[in-house]
Amino acid sequence: MADIRLFTMDDYDKVYALWLSCAGMGLNNLDDSREGIEKYLARNPETCFVAEEDGNIAGVIIAGNDGRRGYIYHTAVSPDYRRRGIGSKLVDEALKALKELGINKVALVVFSRNENGNAFWEKVGFNVRDDLTYRNRSLADIVRIDT
């Protein structure tokens, strides 16, 4: 059974390899670089977790907050470790940590084409909001990394 623990920068290389093994992650060269993740973990040291089993990183969840809302990014379980409840355990741990920080609502974005991801999030209780229009604007030249 996988052990859930805080994600540290010592995990970065294994986590990045895990992300690359999972279709639909939506990685980019800036936010998901070593420097980008180091900055994120510095802001959110108690809400990002990995699942470790037999010395391998089996899963990961990146979660944080802005003081008002919680946000979840790049949740993934290695294809070799799926269907064991690891994803649900990671989500539970992140939600518990956010709640302990006084966060009352959590949001996330999943690509429409990511059928497995959307099915997972529905299963763990995240609803689709069809009353919103998602918008963003890049402030730097971002290169998408296909997974």
Domain ranges of the chain: 3-145
Q: What are phi and psi of 29, to 5 degrees?
A: -75, -15
Three-state secondary-structure class, residue 36: helix
- pLDDT 10s digits, 32-70: 999 999 999 999 999 999 999 999 999 999 999 999 999
b or e along 8-34 (b: 16 or more beta carbons within 10 Å of the residue's beta carbon)? eeebbebbbebbeebebbbbeeebbee
Ranges in the chain, pLDDT < 50: none
Quick check: 19 and 117 in contact, CB under 8 A?
no
**φ, ψ for residue 30 (rounded to 5)?**
-100, -65
What pLDDT does residue 25 have? 87
pLDDT of residue 33: 97
CATH of 3-145, one of 3.40.50.150, 3.40.50.1820, 3.30.300.20, 3.40.630.30: 3.40.630.30
Give the pLDDT score at 70: 98
The DSSP secondary-structure symbol of 53 reads E
Supply the pTM of this predicted model. Answer: 0.94
Q: What's the pLDDT score for residue 71?
A: 98
